[in-house]
Structure 1
Amino acid sequence: MSTPYLCPNCKTNRSRFNIIEQHVKSVKLNPQTGDLIEELEQASLDPFHVAYNGPQYKVQCGVCGLIEEELTFIKRAQLKQ
């Protein structure tokens, strides 16, 4: 997070952002009721459960509210230097 950001939507915000840290929780739900059946550990997922491989952080523009991956904000700042 020591890289400049620029919002790709409003194209003016370079300083006001919300950093959203994502914490993965793998679960198995009852298909009829939606109740939690089991909380799964990342190391012991069954063969039919794909492990999360998305970004650790997302960024929200503090001006327009856009939420995207951090790399999107970094790349926009690099293009407009």
Structure 2
Amino acid sequence: MTAPYRCPNCRTNRSRFNIIKQEPQSVKMDPQTGQIVEEYTTGMLSPFHMPYKGPEYRVQCAACGLVEDERTFVKFGEQQ
């Protein structure tokens, strides 16, 4: 988060953003009720439970509301 950002949607915002930190929670849910049956800790996932591999941060433009991966905002911030 040390690179300049620019919104790829509204193309004018370069200064107002919301940084969204993603904290995944690995759970097993009951398919009928939706209640959490089991909660997994990092490194203790069941063999059929794939760990989260998405971005650590997402960014929201505070002018137009677009939410994207941080790299998208950084790429547009590099352009003049």
Task: Report the CA distance between 1:49 and its aligned residue.
Answer: 0.6
More helix by share: 1
Across the two proteins, how many residue pairs are aligned to each other?
Answer: 80
Counterpart in 1 of 2:7? 7
| 1:17 and 2:17 correspond | yes
Note the residue ranges of structure 2 that are not aligned, 5 or more in a row.
none
AA paired with 2:6?
A: L
**SS state at 1:45 partner:** coil
- What are the equivalent positions in structure 2 for 1:11-50 lying under 5 Å apart? 11-50=11-50
List, as ranges, runs of 4+ consecutive aligned residues in structure 1 with deviation greater than 4 Å: none
Percent of paired sites with the same residue: 57
TM-score under structure 2 length normalisation = 0.96
RMSD across aligned C-alpha pairs, in angstroms?
0.7
Partner Cα separation in structure 2 for residue 27 and residue 40 of structure 1: 6
Give per-residue Cα distances to partners, 1:20-65, cap 9 Å, x unaligned: 0011100000000000101101201111111000000000000000
Counterpart in 2 of 1:57? 57
